[in-house]
Structure formats: C-alpha cells, structure tokens
Structure 1
C-alpha cells in the first residue's frame, strides 16, 4: 500500500471516529433532553392528579376512593397540563393497594400493572415513583408510577412516545449519513493532502532510485524539492550526500589516474632492468652492481608508493573514533619516530592544546610534515622545529624553502616541485596532511621561513579545542623534555 493511500485511510479513520463520537454524544444528549421533557410532563400530570385528590378529600370525598372498584370518575374535571392538540392524550390509571388497576381516563382501557407498581401501591412512600416503558395496543408508552403513601395505592400516568421514537430514529439516521459524509470528505482531503506531502518524497525516491540503478548523479547543485520542513531538510541532506558522492567519485578517478601515472615510471624502469638482466652475463661487474642497486631502489620506491596510495585511499574512510588528543604528545611521538628513522633532532615547542580528534590521523600528519622537512633539510645543521599553538601545528626547517609558485600546489597529490625531482618520495605525504586537516575542519599552509627554509603546517577547527587547553607552554628536544610555565 502506498504512503498516499495510508494517509487517506488514516484521515478517513480519524474523521469517522470523530464523526461517530460527536454523533453519538449528540444523539444521547438529544434523547436525554427529549425524555426529560416527557418525564417532566408525566410528573406535572401526577402532581395535578394528587392535588385534585387532596381538594376532594377536603370536600368530604372518602380517602379510600381510589381503592373501590369501579370508581365514579373521581378525577374528572381536574386541571391537567395542556399537552397541545397534536400531542397524544395521556393514559391515567389508579392502582389500589391490592394491585387492582382502576382506569381513570385515556385511550387505553387498562395498563398492565407490574410488580414494581404493586409494591409502590402497597407500601411505597408518598411521592416515591418508578419510570418505565411499556408496549400496549401496538404503541410504545412511557409510564410513571407514583405512590400515594399510607397504603393508599398509586397513580399511573402514561404518554405515547411513538412520535418521539420516530424523531430520535430520524436523528440517528441523519447522524449516520453525516458521519459517512464526514468520513468520505476526510478520506478525500487526506488523499489530496497526502498527494501534496508525498509528491516531494516521491521525487526524492525517484532521484535515489536513479542514482542506485545506473550510478549517474545529475542533480548536484540543484534544489531537488523546496520547503523548510522535514522533507526540505531531507532534500538538503540528500543533495549534500549526492555532492559528496560526486566529490568522492572525482577524487577516486583522479587518484586512479595519478596512481597509474606515478606507477608507470618505476614499472617502466623495472621492466627495462628486467630486460637487461637477460644479458647479465655480458655486463661488467660494475654494471651489474649498478643494475642491481637500481632495481632495489625502484622496488623500494614502488613499495613506498603503494604504501602511500593505500594510506591515502583509506584515510577518508577509516572509522577511527574521535577522542581528546594532546597535540604535544602527538608531536613528541612523531619526533621520536623521525629521530629513530633519520637521526635528525626535532625541537618541540608546544602549549597544552588538547583537541577532539582522531589520534592516529593527527600523528600521521605530523609525522609526514617532519619526514618531509628531514628529506629537504638533508644537511641537518639545525634541529627541525615543531610549534603547537592552540590547535595549529607548524614544522620549520632550514632546507631550500618553497618557491612562490609551488606554495599552492605542494599539497596536491603526486605533485613534486622541480627541486624535489631527484629526491625519494611519492608526492603523497602532504596530500595526506591536507586530508587529515580537512577531516578536522582545519586548513593547511606552506611558505618560506625567514632566513631560509620552509614553514609547513596545518590547523584543526577552533571548535575542536577543548576548554582550558592551549595556555601552558612546553619545550622539548626529541627525547629530552623540559617544561616551563
């Protein structure tokens, strides 16, 4: 069942429940009101009869007149309530204390005396009454029995309620028709509203199905559906997701093309060397040594390139949990690792910045900066410097520096400046630094150090800096650490 049909059924169900509830309450209220008016008429007639009896008793009418049978119309001439010409005349009957019915007036010859009426006539208190409905002579009557007290019997007043029942039945039919109409209108309105609501959802579903079917993303940069409600937010999120899919695909394609280009050079060299190895017996010992060294270097470079490619490919998708990371400790661990690999002394000048981030990724980025500095500053006259200030990390060396034309491209994948053509490396180290910085909402920077050398670094978003950190300063030289306030 479609969402639109479900909305229509839901609206219809709600409309039906409301209509039935309102109709039932209206019917019950009208019925109570009508029968309350009928009961008021019966009580008024009973009061008039009782008052007539009392007046006749004052005129020396025997008190037990109602118990004799037959009674010579003792209640004729009484002032009874005017029920109107169209209203049916009431049936008046007395009940002796022995339960004998005595007809007084009305269209019926006799009303059946129930056990409750006999009990009231025999021992009921004055004014005690009982109301019931009976069927007599093919009609429905509402009967009020009132005890006279002191074992003097009871009076019964009945009025025909056929017309009242017909009116109430007609009202019930009208309520049923109105309820049905309300249900149909609610269903139609629900279907109309559901169509307006689900039209945008259907559009989003079509876009998602197109993308999942053929993989083509043709909606980036366009507003899929409008609105500021939940559907509009879903549309914006879907548009952002499609944009990321496009960016990921472009990055993947660029990585594949760049990797193919970079892998072609060492593979070509290895292929050439393998061809020469077929004539290894014809080579001089020096030529053989150079050939073997060349094969080892190319193999080592190829292995390093593959490692960098794997690291770069996994950097964006690695699910590393974020946690508080002390950047000073990150810089120290990276400095010690570079010291072990290259023997270069690294001076760490850091505050106590603690950020919310991914520790392995941040350590990898700092390590790449240090290894890059150690590679270009091969002389090693001065220690490499690492500065940490409120979530910003910079590495300074005394190498050849970075040309102005290269500062904007050193973080591109596989880019290598002219001065780095003869140096080992894949051109991916700083690209990984860029990915880590962007994953932490930060930026990268590169420039020339005053007096010679380069300054390369990255930042994390200020919002990731934990409160209270970034104030105390710490300095260390690789594995010798001093702390100053």
Structure 2
C-alpha cells in the first residue's frame, strides 16, 4: 500500500511542482519577515504571539502602503506618523484604505528585505534543481573516459528525483549501454580480422618453399612485417578491452628502439634532439598504443616524404615527439582534414593507402591524454608533433 502511494506521489513530482512550492514559500516568508521587522503593527503582534497564538496574526499585505520615491513615503502631514487604519467600505461599496503610507526609509527597508529573501530562495532553488544536471555532466565525463579505458559505463539513479530527472537518467543509462556495446563490438571485429589473417599468412609461408631463395627472402620479410602489424593491432585492442592501466615509459628509449629497428631494415629513419640521441623523458601511456601512434607517423613520413627524422624534447611540462619529412607539404586549409578517416589528398605520387593512419594516430593520442598536430616546415616538408604529459 505504501509503495503504491509512493509511486503515485512520484508521478506527481516534477520540476514545475518543486518550483511552485519553493517560490510560494519564499514569497510568504518574505512578506512575514518584512512585515514583522518594518511595520509597527507587525512588531506588536510578535509580542502577543506567545499569549494569543494564531489569533494575534494580523492580515499580511502583499506590499506596504506608500511610495518609496516620495520624500515622505506618501503619508499625510502631521507631527508623527501612525500606522494606517484597516480598510473600510467607501460610499460606492469599494474597500478604501484610511490614512497615509509608510515613511520612505521604512518602505526601502521593507523592499530590501523582501528582495534579499527572494534572492536567497532563488539561489537555494537554483542549487537544488541543478544537482541532477551536475550529476549528468559528471557521468558524461566519466562515460567518455571509461569507454576509452574499457571500463563499464556509469549508471545514474533512475528511481529518485522528479519525473524529468528520472526520465533523463533512464535515457542516459540506455545510451551508455548502447555505446559500450558498440565499442565492444568494434574492438571484437578488429580483433577477429587480425586473428583471421593468421591463416592465409601461414599458407603463404608454406608456399615460399617453392620460390627461388631471393624471392622467398623478400616475401618472408613482407610476411614478418604483416605479422608484426597484426600483433600490434591485437595488443592495442587488448589494452583497451581489458582496461589495462598506463605504464611509466621512457619515451627516448622507445623512440631509439623503434629507430634502430627501422634503420636495420634499410629505411631512412633517424633520431635527433637537442644534442642528445634519446633524451630521458618519462610519460605514462599504454605501450602498444604509443608504439602504434609513432609507427603510423613514421610510415606516413616515409610514404609521402621519402624520409623520417624523429625528435624528442621537453616543452612546458610536455614531452614532444616530432616527425619531420621532406615531402611537398600540405595546403594550410587541409592540415586538419587529413586527420579525418578515409581522407586522402591527391599528391600525384600514386602511393596507396586508405586515409586511416593519421586518424588512428590522433584517436589513440587523445585516449592517452595527448595532442597530435601537423604543420608545414619553413624549409619544406611536414612536421607532425605529438605531445604527452610528462611525469
């Protein structure tokens, strides 16, 4: 029985009802306080309230009589001001007040007290009604961070509050679960594709035995590169799906290792920076994701610029990694567009690609709390700058 009554009352609870009750209580309270403090009639019934009870309460006017802009408050001339008599019936049957108004000083004090109390009521009401919005904003921030780190989305309380608050909480919870499902499905499909590529690669290795030795070695190197790419993709998906915590990494050592691996393959990749080959800068990030970002940037520089020069330095509390190339550069109005998925700018070189490398690199960088920007160098070519927070 009580539960049914609570459900019925819950359906009536709304922002309109709460605002109506709050403003009604505030207005009544402002009248009572102003009348009790300013009006001589009001100050007398305060003393009689303990003995006569509610019978001592006088009628409360919505506003005190008088004009606050007049010097005398609109009261008639005389040696001393007395409170106006109660309204009486005039000859035409209408109620007309007898006597003058209150002094201007008392009127201003009355109005000030009312404005102050109404302002306090409005502040309390704004804070009271904004609590659900603050919870929604906090849950939205937590949702984006949780999806990026593979955690379960937050759930808002949809059993308490006004009708509008409960409906908003239910809609947010449904949206959060749908987004989590989409992220999980995307990661699952990516992992499945990477995993299924193992089978054709294994068959290719078996067929290499029928090729001449030189061709077999070249094809074997390509297969190893594909294996490494698959391993890197699976590692990134695994970090995101399991919610692995970021690790403390030596950024200089990571760049040095990557540069050495590519240089051994005969690729024009070098590491330079402020007089040191690999400055010791420590950042907190997911190793596989950070390696994938740098790999994509270097691959893009080699494909379109012919060479890649990596730099590493400290800039205002950030660790900055730069990747320079010697390519033709990009028109300034296209510098942001190339970070969008499936965008490939015409360069006349005939190089292949799907326009995903830079988009993936920026997405992974933002997941690590960093920034990825691009600009043309004065001496020619492009510079891509990756910044991560220093530890």
- Under a length normalisation based on structure 1, what TM-score does the superposition of the two structures give? 0.36
- In our comparison, the structure showing a higher alpha carbon Rg is 1
The answer to which structure has the higher helix fraction is 2
TM-score w.r.t. the length of structure 2 is 0.42
